[in-house]
Amino acid sequence: MRSSLACFLILPLLALARGDEPAQPTPKRFAIVIHGGAGTDPAKMTKAEVAAVEASLKKALDIGVEELDKGGTSLDAVEKVIRFLEDDPLFNAGKGAVFNAEGKHELDASIMDGRTKACGAVASARTVKNPISLARLVMTKTKHVLLVADGAEKFAGEMKVDRVDQQYYFTQKAYDEWQKKRTERTSSKSAEAPKGTVGCAALDSHGNLAAGTSTGGLTNKKAGRVGDSPIIGAGTYADNATCAVSCTGTGEEYIRHAVAYDISARLAYKGDSLKDAVHAILTTRLKKGDGGIIAVDRLGNITMQNNTTGLSRAAADSSGYKEVKLGNEK
């Protein structure tokens, strides 16, 4: 009698665990999600500053949507979107990258193809205009995944990508932030989340996922410090079987918890929804203030979440949905 009762209680649970859920919304033909970093507080920005970031994110979104709507690949959309954001001095990636402890700029980026799990990354690049494109070349032109520092520079020369001098990356805003940070002279061991990292994740009409991330890192970071952005599994991950993810925040925490891969693992092994997986990590693994995560799953479901004062973000899909936001939901 008891086992019979248990059976009636358990069978519906099993059905859920097997994924026999209420009908899913129609899968999207394409979907794209973008971030421009977590940790900025729009309440502390001028209206003009908010408008400028929103306008840039909207342009980036349009670039990605145009690529995907014409049947382009998610990889191309991710690279084009991130190149645009790298070229925009408003973000801490490419032009606008922050200063390290030595007053230099060292740039990190990674990209991953969810179809093949091919991936490429560069860290501590110093004269590369668009690190995301060099990361893609590491993926397609070498047998390696990650090239750093002088090796990345040398490879940039071999690939004849656009080069710039360090002065190119300069922005007054990043310089002022560095001056402020280096004169704080705190002995605090806690890392402050970098602001303005950029990333993109997309599903294309061929059913392929891709993700990428690009950053100048943390203001006043030690020379040679590498955060999560160029680390596949930490800052970036894409797998057609699950989802595509790009992270932004205190890189060390994202590496420690293998955040980008962990989201994929929660979908694959626990059957979590994308939204629930990202929520669980931001609330139970990461600490308040650590950062944000954007992701898209294989059906085109999008999530953009953070545990900071804000997350610069934008998203769109083939249903006509389009959104650009900086602040948290009220």
In angstroms, rounded to a whole number, what is the distance separating the alpha carbons of residues 258 and 269?
15
For 178, the token pair is: 């560095």
CB burial readout 300-330, b (16+ within 10 A) else e: bbbbbbbbbbbbbbbbbbbeeeeebbbeeee
Please spell the DSSP secondary structure of 79-90, one letter per residue. HHHHHHHHHSTT
Which tokens hold the place of 214? 């690009």
Question: Which residue's CB is nearer to a copy of itself, number 65 or number 234?
Answer: 234
- Least gap, CB of 290 to a copy of itself (angstroms): 13
The smaller minimum CB distance to a copy of itself, of residues 26 and 283, is found at: 283
Shortest Å distance, C-beta 31 to a copy of itself? 24
At residue 49, the 3 state secondary structure works out as: helix
Residue 49 CB, nearest approach to a copy of itself (Å)? 28
Most distant CA atoms of the chain, gap in Å? 78
3-state class (DSSP) for residue 289: coil
Q: Considering the complex, what minimum distance in angstroms separates the CB of residue 101 from a copy of itself?
A: 9
What angle is formed at CA 273 by the lines to CA 272 and CA 275, rounded to 5 degrees?
120
Min dist CB 224 to a copy of itself, Å, is 1
Which residue, 84 or 237, has its beta carbon nearer to a copy of itself? 237
Is 281 strand, coil or helix?
helix
User: Shortest Cβ distance from residue 143 to a copy of itself (Å)?
Assistant: 4
Residue the block writes with tokens 């999600």: 33
Of residues 45 and 280, the one with the C-beta less far from a copy of itself: 280
Shortest reach from residue 268's CB to a copy of itself, in Å: 8
**Which residue out of 40, 127, 197, 215 is catalytically annotated?**
197
Short-list 254, 326, 304, 217, CA closest to 33: 304
Contact 215, 91 (CB under 8 A): no
Identity of the residue, 34 or 123, whose beta carbon is nearer to a copy of itself in the bound complex: 123
Phi (first) and psi of residue 128, to 5 degrees: -100, 125
Chain residues in the site for a copy of itself (CB under 8 A): 3-4, 6-8, 10-11, 14, 117-119, 123-124, 142-152, 154-155, 188-191, 221-227, 231-234, 237, 251-252, 255-258, 261-262, 265-266, 269-270
Q: With left for phi above 0 and alpha for psi between -120 and 50, is residue 35 left, alpha or beta?
A: beta
Query: Which sign, positive or negative, has the C-alpha torsion 219, 227, 61, 94?
Result: positive
Pairwise CA distance, residues 63 & 294, whole Å: 18
Q: Which residue number, 28 or 136, has a Cβ lying nearer to a copy of itself?
A: 136
* Smaller CB separation from a copy of itself, 53 or 245: 245
Residue written as tokens 């626990």?
270
Known catalytic residue at 197: yes
Q: What amino acid positions are annotated as catalytic residues?
A: 197
